[in-house]
Structure 1
Amino acid sequence: MLLAHSVGTQVITFVLRPTMSYRAIELDVPAAWLGVLGASFAIAPLLLALPAGHAADRYGERRIAVTGAMLLTAASVAFLAFGHTIPGLVAAGILLGTGHLGCVIAQQALVANTTGLGGHDTAFGRYTFAASLGQAAGPVLIAALGGEQAIPDTGRIFLWSCVLAAVMIVLSALLSRSPRPDAQDRDGTPNVRSLLRRPGLAHALVTSCVVLAALDITLVYLPALGTEQGLTSGTIGLLLIIRGVASMGSRFFLGRLSRAIGRRRLLISSTVAAAAAMLLTPLPMPLWLLAPVLVVLGYGLGVGQPLTMSWMAESAPPGLRGRAMSLRLVGNRTAQLLLPGAAGLMAAGMGAAGVLLITGVGLGWAGVAARRLPADA
């Protein structure tokens, strides 16, 4: 049920976010406003993630999931009813970001609280695999529901999103609830500072931020690199699919990999391998050689997120795991906003290749820094 909930959340999100942009294009919205629409989704995680994590710890994950699903439904209705104006799109985008936040915080806290010690690597690997599956299915649904024209039938997509979001409310109500910790098991200082002092948590947070920012940079700058090197859009699309499939594969088998290699060694090796692949990607090479480089890149980037989730879940005590997951989400969103722009400024004049090279250096630093994480239990 939890994995179905994860898939559904990402499907709705990755249907509505691109469709919001299509509706803005239909309305001849200026390019500057497209950035505002995109930012409207990110406002909620930055402002409300920590309170949402606290609420999940206090009231239980199922209530937060139901609230998130209701907000996803409200967002779908708002897109349908008020999406013909810029303020309506912005308001609906904020609702969408808030609903997505509630669902994701509830899911991650539920995984953290219901998984036994030693099983978090497998659990978070399967969870992030399900999320990746939903993200891949979203664009497919846009193509299926929107027709074959350049700009899809946005009204029809918004209508079907209302139906999908209503199903999410039912799924949320059927989720199990993790056992509440006794009062004596709760941390006496349940705040961000006390969480960051937990062994390994701060280092896992930094690694998570860098890996996720590198993933976003890859999605944005690989097409730009293809343009610079004369690769077709179909070739770049194939390379992105290869990277995505490699990430999903590493997540599905994460538990086995972790047991065979060791969690810290796996995180270090995968991050360093991703860094090496990122450094090689801008170099001119034939497609048959570039494809395996993207496999290595996808594998390394796919491992980083669930492993750092697992580390943070085991570092935080019962009763604080929702806040630990929300703290990670705040860090990730901040990195997504700041690091790509910083890489672009540092690589000014070097083009997409320069951005990818600098990102590869950052990934390498994150891999080396991961040596400071606690040894495997």
Structure 2
Amino acid sequence: MTGMLGRPGGRRLLGLLLLHSALTQVVTFVLRPTSAYRAIELDVPAAWLGALTASFAVVPLLLAVPSGQATDRFGERRVMLVGSVLVALSGVVFLTQLGGAAGLVLGSVVLGTGHLFSVVGQQAAVANTAGPGRFDTAFGYYTFAASLGQAIGPALITLLGGSSALPDTRPIFAVATVLGVLLIACTAVLRIPAGEHAGRAAETGGMKTLLRLPGLVRALVISCVVLSAVDITLVYLPALGADRGLAAGLVGVLLTLRAVASMTSRFFLGRLVAWVGRRRLMIVSVALSAAAMAAVAVPMPPAATAVLVVLLGLGLGVGQPLTMSWLAEVAPAGLRGRAMSLRLTGNRLGQVLIPSAVGLVAAGVGAAGVLWATAAALALAGTAARRLATDGPAGT
């Protein structure tokens, strides 16, 4: 067994990277909704709520590619350390509750930037240490850990916030800050093997080399469409439930089933790729997502909807780790940080543009129309996947 899992201490390194990923997402998915609750407590205007939401993504969008360049030049651990410190610092900003709405926006900017640096460093570390033939398994585990963290985060709000409509935010911010300190400690004990950084990157021509990679644009399109489809389900499945008179509890169960199904397909990703091949799995998973998304919008009994949501989750869980492993396979070793940051940039743009475009196309048709339009976007992404070149043993 080659790569991270085959070298001495490789399993410890993988475990720490997965813990780092999970902790990053736990803190992020605790702080973001809790900061919104705090804004409601402060009775801030709607414009400030919009700024609070956007501030998490805007600065990271500008820093995504530079963060990848820093990762390739200075190493993954240093970038992850900066990200961890910023994540912990954001908890302190929220906890002190200084500056009112402006303070919340500042905390969100710091959190978004810390999240970006942490994630870019994590993905580059996985890519640079997994080794050829192990990318799919490693990124499957990595995204599984991230999904687990995203599930645990909101649960902590329920556990710590009390039973009132507006939770007590101070203990939540305090626990998130402590978890941020644990994230710093996790980074401090990481020992990532030295890889190829600035010298190799300079020789290969930097970002121009990446942009010339065959199939890069297709991979980025698939990644951002799949991620946007996940975001759309979070908003429009509840809206569809409201249109159909479904209980909020049932909709919550459907969303949980979607998330668990995605975690399952990610956990077994390496085996699935070994079974059917990377490109074929990409095509099948996107096609399954498109078909399930379209069918979910059709009125049917709740049990049938639940089955379709599970199929939807299984399909949507594959796109992100597969595009990461494909990029890790084709990008030069000294440019993998930049490759991952480029993917994150495309994802951020997709998260802004695709839901807006889908909403315009499906205007007046309701939540079902939005889901049908999203299914059409996924079908187009599946067409792009058919022409995606694959390399190495995992891609055959």
- What corresponds to 1:165 in structure 2? 180
TM-score normalised per structure 1: 0.97
Which residue identity is paired with 1:234? G
- What corresponds to 1:151 in structure 2? 166
Contact 2:272 2:281 in 1 (8 A): yes
- What corresponds to 2:323 in structure 1? 308
Quote the Cα distance in structure 1 between the aligned partners of 2:345 and 2:156.
29
- What corresponds to 1:248 in structure 2? 263
**1:44 positional shift:** 2.6
**1:84 positional shift:** 5.6
Instruction: Say whether residues 1:347 and 2:362 are aligned partners.
Output: yes
**1:199 positional shift:** 2.4
Instruction: Say whether residues 1:288 and 2:303 are aligned partners.
Output: yes
Quote the Cα distance in structure 2 between the aligned partners of 1:284 and 1:84.
48
Which residue identity is paired with 1:152? P
Instruction: Say whether residues 1:278 and 2:293 are aligned partners.
Output: yes
For residues 44-59 of structure 1, the aligned pairs below 5 Å read: 44-59=59-74
Instruction: Say whether residues 1:61 and 2:107 are aligned partners.
Output: no
Contact 2:227 2:347 in 1 (8 A): yes
Instruction: Say whether residues 1:129 and 2:144 are aligned partners.
Output: yes
Contact 1:264 1:371 in 2 (8 A): yes
Contact 1:44 1:101 in 2 (8 A): no
Q: Deviations over 1:153-185 (max 9, x none)?
A: 111111111111111111011122232227774
Instruction: Flag the 1:83–1:152 CA change in 2: closer, same or farther, 3 A.
Output: farther
Quote the Cα distance in structure 2 between the aligned partners of 1:206 and 1:313.
17
Contact 1:268 1:371 in 2 (8 A): yes
Contact 2:75 2:197 in 1 (8 A): no
Quote the Cα distance in structure 1 between the aligned partners of 2:317 and 2:39.
32
Quote the Cα distance in structure 1 between the aligned partners of 2:261 and 2:202.
39
Quote the Cα distance in structure 2 between the aligned partners of 1:141 and 1:166.
17
Q: Which moved more, 1:42-51 or 1:301-310?
A: 42-51
**1:193 positional shift:** 3.3
Contact 2:292 2:308 in 1 (8 A): yes
Q: Deviations over 1:27-67 (max 9, x none)?
A: 01122321110001002321111111111111111111111
Quote the Cα distance in structure 2 between the aligned partners of 1:76 and 1:38.
16
Residue segments in structure 2 that go unaligned for 5+ positions in a row: 1-15
Instruction: Say whether residues 1:368 and 2:378 are aligned partners.
Output: no
Secondary structure of the residue aligned to 2:203 is coil
**Structure 1 vs Structure 2 CA RMSD:** 1.3
Quote the Cα distance in structure 1 between the aligned partners of 2:254 and 2:217.
33
- What corresponds to 1:297 in structure 2? 312
Q: Deviations over 1:232-269 (max 9, x none)?
A: 10111111111111100000000000000000000000
Which residue identity is paired with 2:134? G
The percent of aligned pairs where both chains have the same amino acid is 59
Instruction: Flag the 1:24–1:60 CA change in 2: closer, same or farther, 3 A.
Output: same
**Matching residue within 21, 39, 60 for 1:24:** 39
Instruction: Say whether residues 1:195 and 2:210 are aligned partners.
Output: yes
Contact 2:26 2:149 in 1 (8 A): yes
Contact 2:74 2:198 in 1 (8 A): no
Contact 1:65 1:102 in 2 (8 A): yes
Instruction: Flag the 1:63–1:157 CA change in 2: closer, same or farther, 3 A.
Output: same
Which residue identity is paired with 2:122? Q
Quote the Cα distance in structure 2 between the aligned partners of 1:331 and 1:63.
24
**1:187 positional shift:** 5.3
Quote the Cα distance in structure 2 between the aligned partners of 1:84 and 1:69.
23
Instruction: Flag the 1:371–1:9 CA change in 2: closer, same or farther, 3 A.
Output: same
Instruction: Flag the 1:265–1:30 CA change in 2: closer, same or farther, 3 A.
Output: same
Quote the Cα distance in structure 2 between the aligned partners of 1:234 and 1:145.
21
Quote the Cα distance in structure 2 between the aligned partners of 1:60 and 1:182.
7
Quote the Cα distance in structure 2 between the aligned partners of 1:237 and 1:90.
29
Instruction: Say whether residues 1:358 and 2:360 are aligned partners.
Output: no
Task: Name the count of aligned residue pairs.
Answer: 377
Quote the Cα distance in structure 2 between the aligned partners of 1:218 and 1:9.
23
Quote the Cα distance in structure 2 between the aligned partners of 1:183 and 1:292.
49
Contact 1:6 1:107 in 2 (8 A): yes
Secondary structure of the residue aligned to 1:320 is helix
Instruction: Say whether residues 1:103 and 2:118 are aligned partners.
Output: yes
**1:202 positional shift:** 2.1
**1:189 positional shift:** 4.8
Contact 1:23 1:83 in 2 (8 A): no
Quote the Cα distance in structure 2 between the aligned partners of 1:340 and 1:204.
19
- What corresponds to 2:6 in structure 1? none
Quote the Cα distance in structure 2 between the aligned partners of 1:39 and 1:146.
24
Quote the Cα distance in structure 2 between the aligned partners of 1:103 and 1:78.
18
Contact 2:137 2:269 in 1 (8 A): yes
Instruction: Flag the 1:183–1:348 CA change in 2: closer, same or farther, 3 A.
Output: closer
Residue segments in structure 1 that go unaligned for 5+ positions in a row: none
Contact 2:72 2:197 in 1 (8 A): no
Contact 1:190 1:320 in 2 (8 A): no
Secondary structure of the residue aligned to 2:133 is coil
- What corresponds to 1:175 in structure 2? 190
- What corresponds to 1:207 in structure 2? 222
Instruction: Flag the 1:227–1:94 CA change in 2: closer, same or farther, 3 A.
Output: same
